[in-house]
Structure formats: C-alpha cells, structure tokens
Amino acid sequence: MADASRIWALGDFPKVARETIGPTGPLLVEACAIGPGQRVLDVAAGAGNVAIPAARAGAEVVASDLTPELLDAGRAVAAAEGLALEWVVADAQALPFADGAFDVVTSSFGAIFAPDHAKTAAELLRVCRPGGTIGLLTWPPDGWTADFFTRHAAFGPPPPPDFQPPVLWGEERHLRELLGPGTSELTVERRTVVLDQFADPEALVAFYRANFDPVIASFAQLADDPERAAELERTLVEFARETDLGGADGRSRWELEYLLVVARRA
C-alpha cells in the first residue's frame, strides 16, 4: 500500500476535499447522530472532512489514514480550532484497534479506495461496537465522479486482474453484500453535491490537474509522452464540457451524485 500513500501525497487533496466535497462531511456527522460522549473512528479520513466536524459536535474522535501528509494537514486545521483529535496512520484493511472499540465508524469517499472490499468492510464492522453506527459516503457507478475516473483511468496502466473499482461501493447490492451480514439495518440515500465555483470547464480541469493527486500522477507518468498527455488534457476538458449543466449566472455547474449510507451494527 506504499504506492497508494505516495500518490495521495502528490497534490493538495485537502484543498480538493474542502472545495468540492466539503459540505458532505457535516452531513454525514448529522446522519450518524454524532455527539458528546461518543467514541468515533473516521477511516481513510484524509485531512478530516468528517473527523473534524465530528470533533466539533463533541465526540471523542480518532482519524486514521494511510497517508501521513494528509493527517498532518488535518492536525493543523484541528489545532487552529482548538480541537483535540487522535491522528493515526493505518491501513483500512488492517485497522490497529480493538474489536468494538467505537460507537460510530465513518468513512467519506476514503475506504472505498482500499483494494480488498470484503476485508475493508470486515474491518469497519469489527471495530464498531454491537448496536453502533457505520456511516459511509460513496460514489455511485453511474455518476459524474465514476465517469471522470473511467475516462482518466484509460491513460494509466491496466488494473490488476482482481481489481475492484471503488465505485462498486456505490452499488446498493454490493453494499448489502459487504455490510449486510454484520448489520441489523442499512439505509442508502442518493444525494448531490454541486460544483459551481469554476468559471468554465477549462478552469475545473486546471484545478484537478494542479491539486488532485491521481490526476497529477497520471500526467507525471506521461511526462515523456507529450502527445498522450495532451490527449488526456483534451479528454478531461471534453468530459467537463459534456457534463456542464450551466448556471443561472452564466458560470459552469456540475452535479456530483453520491450515496449516504448509514448502517446499524448487529
């Protein structure tokens, strides 16, 4: 998993999360009814899009992630607010916590990137106490983000034979296969986050190219192939144009659909 950690330290993912999916973190905290007296684990926490709002709500929070640089960014934000969280470098597939150690276990578009879905789901269930809550944010396979990843992935190396796409976590059937046996109830709600802060498709692509770690990695890989790099740039801009819904003020607008998943540990 060292390569994954390295990739997510290439750009400024905290900025990407803050400026694109930022509003979704507090929504997950609210959906999981996180508050004082609860012990919360945020898995693949990044810079704390869920962990920090959970701490603001009064919970005792542990934020874990594979990439130390992301945890450092979150730690700085929390310290500036006077919030006390524990930041732990950990693999979502092998969490270093005791069985049933947490009242609430969350992950915001993070644990879905771990290669082994079944192992990751088993860990989320294991560290949540019986009767506790598991809350996830995931990307559906028929949404904007899945399409973005598909077009972008065409310019990278082929995935290994046993590769499971992260967006499978956005299929309700797959979610129920992963979490259902360990839960007494599971609800799935489809929601949308809007991107309307970019003037045009070119500005959106420039933002992702400058800050989003997987895109940075792809362009770095194509450094010796300028024609292929230019093709990737054109592909992303064309995609952004195709999916631009337009705003009332003439600026661009995109809608990113996601799933809000809340489960009760059996």
> pLDDT tens-digit profile of 82-128?
999 999 999 999 999 999 999 999 999 999 999 999 999 999 999 99
Q: Is residue 59 part of a domain?
A: yes
Based on the fold, state whether residues 149 and 110 are members of the same structural domain.
yes
All residues at 6 or more sequence positions from 45 whose CB lies less than 8 Å from its CB, including other chains? 51, 63, 64, 65, 70, 71, 74, 107, 108, 110
Backbone angles phi, psi at 230, to 5 degrees: -65, -35
In the predicted model, is pLDDT for residue 2 greater than 50? no
Q: Is residue 212 part of a domain?
A: yes
Based on the fold, state whether residues 16 and 144 are members of the same structural domain.
yes
Domain of 92? 2-194+254-265
3-state percent helix, strand, coil for the chain, nearest multiple of 5: 45, 25, 35
Count of domains forming the chain: 2
Q: Is residue 87 part of a domain?
A: yes
Q: Is residue 247 part of a domain?
A: no
Give the DSSP letter string of 54-119.
Answer: HHHTT-EEEEEES-HHHHHHHHHHHHHHT---EEEE-BTTB--S-TT-EEEEEEESSGGGSS-HHH
Q: Is residue 260 part of a domain?
A: yes
Based on the fold, state whether residues 103 and 220 are members of the same structural domain.
no
Based on the fold, state whether residues 186 and 205 are members of the same structural domain.
no
Q: Is residue 249 part of a domain?
A: no
Query: CA-CA distance, 266 to 263, in Å (whole number)?
Result: 9
Query: CA-CA distance, 8 to 99, in Å (whole number)?
Result: 28
CA nearest to 40, candidates 93, 94, 103, 86: 103
Based on the fold, state whether residues 178 and 115 are members of the same structural domain.
yes
Based on the fold, state whether residues 206 and 189 are members of the same structural domain.
no
Torsion angle (degrees, nearest 10) of CA 73, 135, 91, 156:
-80
Based on the fold, state whether residues 36 and 168 are members of the same structural domain.
yes
Q: Is residue 96 part of a domain?
A: yes
CB 56 within 8 A of CB 78: no
Task: Using alpha carbons, list the distances in angstroms from residue 52 to 25, 55, 85, 119.
Answer: 9, 5, 8, 26
Based on the fold, state whether residues 6 and 132 are members of the same structural domain.
yes
**Domain of 67: which CATH number?**
3.40.50.150
165-219, pLDDT tens digit by residue? 999 999 999 999 999 999 999 999 999 999 999 999 999 999 999 999 999 999 9
Name the token pair of 142: 């028929």
Based on the fold, state whether residues 189 and 222 are members of the same structural domain.
no
Query: CA-CA distance, 157 to 3, in Å (whole number)?
Result: 14
What pLDDT, on a 0 to 100 scale, did the predictor assign at position 188?
A: 97
**What's the whole-number mean pLDDT along residues 225-251?**
93
Based on the fold, state whether residues 214 and 104 are members of the same structural domain.
no
In the predicted model, is pLDDT for residue 4 greater than 90? no
Based on the fold, state whether residues 228 and 108 are members of the same structural domain.
no
Q: Is residue 248 part of a domain?
A: no
37-50, pLDDT tens digit by residue? 999 999 999 999 99
CB 39 within 8 A of CB 241: no
In the predicted model, is pLDDT for residue 155 greater than 90? no
Based on the fold, state whether residues 165 and 226 are members of the same structural domain.
no
Task: Using alpha carbons, list the distances in angstroms from residue 88 to 27, 50, 63, 85, 165.
Answer: 23, 15, 6, 10, 26
